[in-house]
Amino acid sequence: MSNSIRAFYADWAGYNRRTAEALARLSPEDLALEAGFYHWPIWAVAAHTVGARVFWLCHTAGEPGAETTPFNDPSGFGWEDDLTVVRTGAEVVGAYESTWQVVAGCLERWTPEMLGEPIRRQGRTTVQLHTRQSLLLRLINHEAYHAGEISIALSANGREPIDLWPPGDWVEGASSSLREG
């Protein structure tokens, strides 16, 4: 039996998959719609969302995998920082898939005992202390927040929002009898 924390975060894989599938269905015009506080286009909000995975897990916590993603700059410079290079749906979906591999690796390697371990991050003026657990919660909340922003932008423009909890797909990997119940 594995001692990993993967089972505690099993639904996250489904949220990632459903978000990537929804983004894959968007046209270039949809991806260009403004979303969020900074008035970034949807593609930039989506890239920022998953770029945070690499920033926190690889560049802050020291986990491997940044080189397999589009977000390998340790400064945190991401696609959303250069809006002149418009990203395609395929690029955004690829970013979701490649950064998910980083997350999945952490969920597989990390154990419950590791969740409380401190992780130091040098901020601009102070040293910040985080735990592995706080990084995971930060990422999950960050992703939900931005999925909501994207969904609001889509809905406000007459498009279908992202549905993270479609009927019949509530529990990732559950048997059909459990999903139906």
Among the listed ranges 79-83, 93-97, 110-114, 125-129, which one has the minimum average pLDDT value? 125-129
Is the per-residue pLDDT at 98 higher than 90? yes
* Residue 76 backbone phi and psi in degrees, to 5: 95, 0
Confidence class for position 94, pLDDT limits 50, 70, 90 = very high
Give residue 180's pLDDT.
42
Helix, coil or strand: residue 6: helix
Is the per-residue pLDDT at 149 higher than 90? yes
* Residue 56 backbone phi and psi in degrees, to 5: -75, -45
Evaluate the CA torsion angle 79, 83, 85, 86 in order and state its sign: positive
Supply the mean pLDDT for the chain. Answer: 91
Distances (CA, A) of 103 to 59, 62, 78, 80, 111: 13, 12, 18, 21, 14
> Which residues, including other chains, have CB under 8 Å from residue 80's CB and lie 6 or more apart?
40, 44, 45, 47, 48, 51
Confidence class for position 173, pLDDT limits 50, 70, 90 = low
Is the per-residue pLDDT at 70 higher than 80? yes
